[in-house]
Amino acid sequence: MTFAVFVPPQASHGPLPVLWYLSGLTCTHQNVMDKGEYRQLAAELGLIIVCPDTSPRGEAVPDEKDNWQFGSGAGFYVDATEAPYARNYRMYSYVTQELPALIAREFPADMERQGIFGHSMGGHGALTIALKHPDRFRSASAFAPIVQPSTAGWSKPAFQKYLGEDETAWRAYDACALVEDGARFPEFLIDQGKADGFLDEGLRPWLFEDACHKAGIPLSLNMREGYDHSYFFISTFMDDHLRWHAQRLV
């Protein structure tokens, strides 16, 4: 597994808060490094940014090379239970256990001050991981997240292959279902482009807005006129998210 870590200059004076960025379908750790426009403000705010990959890699890893919504680049931040994927596709454990242990050991990270955010599939990962670990993360936000992957057309087939046919098992990796089942987090921030081609069938942030409203979870949902699903959208509002997290990671 390859990952990226941005360490700002303030780290020379002591440990700094950690902000995890989870990327979307087809991406690696590299996409946000090249297009995310986070370094300048992260340096000013004193934030360590950790960017994991989106799936296991390698010739021995089972894949569907002609399917961009499954396999390589499409781990969906779940721990697969079904053969032949269960051995390698354990992205939930990688992001919540294996990589944090390495970051804590090798970098000047204050693991008592962690936030998490992400884009699309990574937004799904950020929301679900925060809801399952409210004691670990002080802040959570997302750009255009897949809020109900168990029913969305581009994620349901992946859940079937990774997690099996029992849809009750899928609820542990579905932000709307987690809230419905009692998971809680202090507050969320979501930015979503109104011109996003995946909005109506894949993303549907209003479902999460409704779940949060019923559960009494504060959610700031910004519907951005004219913006699509690309990194032009993400980079435009990256500073807003970094400042929002920094305020909660002091």
pLDDT of the residue at 234: 98
pLDDT of the residue at 235: 98
d(CA 122, CA 90): 15
- Name the region of 220 (left: φ>0; alpha: ψ -120 to 50; beta: rest): beta
Q: What token pair was written down for 237? A: 């509002």
Catalytic residue selected from 23, 55, 72, 120: 120
- pLDDT tens for the chain, 250 residues long, are 899 999 999 999 999 999 999 999 999 999 999 999 999 999 999 999 999 999 999 999 999 999 999 999 999 999 999 999 999 999 999 999 999 999 999 999 999 999 999 999 999 999 999 999 999 999 999 999 999 999 999 999 999 999 999 999 999 999 999 999 999 999 999 999 999 999 999 999 999 999 999 999 999 999 999 999 999 999 999 999 999 999 999 9
pLDDT of the residue at 48: 98
Helix locations, the chain, DSSP H? 30-35, 39-45, 91-93, 99-106, 121-132, 156-163, 175-180, 205-215, 231-248
Strands 137-143 and 188-193: parallel
Catalytic residue selected from 53, 63, 191, 196: 196
Do residues 143 and 191 make contact, with C-beta atoms less than 8 angstroms apart? yes
Amino acid at the residue 156:
K
pLDDT of the residue at 200: 97
Classify residue 65 by burial, with Cβ atoms within 10 Å: 0-12, 13-18, 19+.
Answer: exposed
CA-based nearest residue to 206, from 157, 145, 158: 145
pLDDT of the residue at 1: 86
Q: Measure Cα distances from 173 to 9, 66, 132 in Å.
A: 36, 25, 9
In the annotation, is 120 catalytic? yes
pTM of the model: 0.97
**Which residues pair with residue 193 across a beta bridge?**
224
d(CA 171, CA 177): 5
Catalytic residue selected from 29, 124, 229, 241: 229
Domain boundaries, the chain: 4-248
Do residues 232 and 203 make contact, with C-beta atoms less than 8 angstroms apart? no
Q: 59 — phi, psi (to 5°)? A: -65, -30
Do residues 189 and 141 make contact, with C-beta atoms less than 8 angstroms apart? yes
The verdict on domain 4-248 having CATH code 3.40.50.1820 is yes
Amino acid at the residue 6:
F
Helix locations, 10-168, DSSP H? 30-35, 39-45, 91-93, 99-106, 121-132, 156-163
In the annotation, is 196 catalytic? yes
